Amino acid sequence: MTEFSTKKVTAKLFLLLVFSDVLETVTHVCFKKSVSAEMAFTFSNAGAFFSFLHGVMLSPFLWLGLASVLITFIIWTLILSRIDLSVAVPIASFSYILIPVVSVIFLHERISLIRWLGIACILSGVILVSMSSGSKERIPGE
């Protein structure tokens, strides 16, 4: 079996990861908008479940979300062809930083100290995981 080692996380890969992350956030917002509060799901019976699904499927946000899922899939596949799963997934947590920072710059929201601490933790975690990528093993085709 070919040993599949992975490359170091380059700036290009990192940007691609961030982009797929942003798209994933778009997906989540779309999905959240596709379920309105008044259709809160209850565990009563199967019929309630199907009428819930039916309501969700009529929302344009669901379909917008699904389109974004497709694009994310393609980008994600390209990323995974390059780096370990246990590197790609943690680095994708970068969106937890992106959203608060964007809301500070563009929406002038205030961020609590605890949240800044959390952001610092995620950032250091992402740096640590990135540093752990890129093995000394041979890369096939190189």
Query: Could you list the residues that contact other proteins (CB under 8 A)?
Result: 2, 4, 28, 31-32, 34-35, 37, 39-41, 43, 52-53, 56, 74, 76-78, 80-81, 84-87, 89-90, 93, 96, 100, 112, 114-115, 117-133, 135, 140-142
Question: What would the two tokens of residue 62 be?
Answer: 């669901």
As measured in angstroms, the least distance from the Cβ of 142 to other proteins is: 7
Run of H or E residues at 59: none
Of 108 and 120, which has the nearer Cβ to other proteins? Answer: 120
Contact 100, 123 (CB under 8 A): no
Residue written as token pair 């920072």: 101
As measured in angstroms, the least distance from the Cβ of 4 to other proteins is: 5
As measured in angstroms, the least distance from the Cβ of 122 to other proteins is: 4
CA–CA separation, 131 vs 95, rounded Å? 19
CA–CA separation, 37 vs 107, rounded Å? 25
